[in-house]
């Protein structure tokens, strides 16, 4: 293995991925990759297209199963056969396409698939008032976001507001501990990028382990505590953000330098 991650402090990771290998037929998408995710930190995963970033997080979130390797949650081996298994274990993801239903309101999106109901004369109906109230509270209390109206269609929201709704849907689950975000600032303008980065910092400060995939090193250096670099399906190094710079990370991405451990 090219790089092994060493603990930078005494905290134990929530998630430990060890020796993760993924083959699609004759193609090796991941080759013996390790990853740690700790509470109260942002771990950035960087690398060129085809480096294995998306495959790695899809294994972490139960979308794919590894060909080889193990995943530990709180020190115990954990296997997932679906994304639902990951959510039940406290691991969720906000992907680049957000998976937001434009024809629904923010509250309806927040509770999509887990709608709240109430009974009227023995007949269950949607409890829209309660869903709207809880969605408003989640956005405000967890993310510091207050929409002008919860009754508009989500398609009318800005890119940053839609991102907030997608994040709120994930953090609404009481047991969420690890949140993966795939290119969270893609297609956002400067102001909305800044707001989204602040949301990520606030989630970290609330004790979540946040894993961010990003092509923007400027964003990575602003929000991350550690940087995990992928190249051609392998991890070529894990570095502490405060102890590295743009040039070193770029050299790892393009293959002119590897790091044999965290520093």
Please give the Cα distance from 213 to 219 (Å, whole number): 10
Q: pLDDT per residue over 63-78, tens digit each?
A: 999 999 999 998 999 8
Residues of the chain with CATH 3.40.50.300: 1-90+176-263
Please give the Cα distance from 22 to 5 (Å, whole number): 20
Please give the Cα distance from 139 to 187 (Å, whole number): 22
* pLDDT given for residue 139 in this prediction: 93
Per the CB < 8 A criterion, the answer to whether 167 and 92 are in contact is no
* pLDDT given for residue 258 in this prediction: 67
What's this model's pTM, rounded to 2 decimal places?
0.87
Please give the Cα distance from 134 to 131 (Å, whole number): 5
What residues in the chain have per-residue pLDDT under 50? 1-10, 263
Select 1-90+176-263's CATH number: 3.60.60.10, 3.40.50.300, 3.40.50.1260, 1.10.630.10.
3.40.50.300
* pLDDT given for residue 69 in this prediction: 96
* pLDDT given for residue 1 in this prediction: 34
Q: pLDDT per residue over 22-62, tens digit each?
A: 999 999 999 999 999 999 999 999 999 999 999 999 999 99
Degrees to nearest 5, angle at CA 249 with 211 and 38? 25
Per the CB < 8 A criterion, the answer to whether 21 and 30 are in contact is yes
- The SS3 of residue 82 is coil
β 27-37/209-213 pair status: unpaired
Per the CB < 8 A criterion, the answer to whether 227 and 238 are in contact is yes
Q: How far, in Å, are 26, 86, 125, 133 from residue 151 at the CA level?
A: 50, 31, 18, 11
* pLDDT given for residue 239 in this prediction: 96
């Amino acid at each position: 293995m090219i790089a092994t991650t060493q603990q930078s402090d005494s905290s134990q990771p929530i998630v430990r991925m060890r020796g993760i290998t993924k083959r699609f037929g004759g193609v090796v998408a991941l080759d013996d990759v390790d990853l740690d995710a700790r509470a109260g930190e942002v771990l950035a995963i960087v690398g060129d297209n085809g480096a294995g970033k998306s495959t790695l997080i899809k294994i972490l979130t139960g979308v794919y199963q590894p060909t080889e390797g193990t995943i530990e949650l709180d020190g115990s081996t954990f296997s997932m056969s679906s994304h639902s298994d990951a959510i039940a274990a406290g691991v969720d993801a906000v992907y680049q396409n957000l998976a937001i239903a434009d024809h629904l309101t923010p509250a309806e999106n927040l509770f999509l698939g887990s709608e709240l109901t109430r009974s009227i004369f023995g007949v269950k109906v949607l409890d829209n008032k309660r869903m709207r109230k809880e969605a408003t509270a989640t956005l405000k209390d967890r993310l510091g976001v207050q929409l002008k109206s919860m009754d508009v269609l989500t398609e009318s929201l800005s890119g940053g507001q839609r991102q907030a709704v997608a994040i709120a849907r994930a953090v609404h689950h009481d047991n969420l501990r690890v949140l993966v975000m795939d290119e969270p600032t893609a297609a956002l303008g400067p102001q909305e990028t800044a707001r989204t980065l602040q949301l990520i910092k606030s989630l970290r400060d609330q004790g979540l382990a946040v894993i961010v995939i990003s092509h923007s090193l400027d964003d990575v250096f602003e929000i991350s505590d550690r940087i995990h670099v992928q190249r051609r399906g392998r991890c070529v190094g894990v570095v502490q953000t405060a102890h590295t710079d743009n040039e070193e990370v770029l050299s790892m991405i393009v293959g002119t330098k590897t790091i044999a451990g965290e520093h």
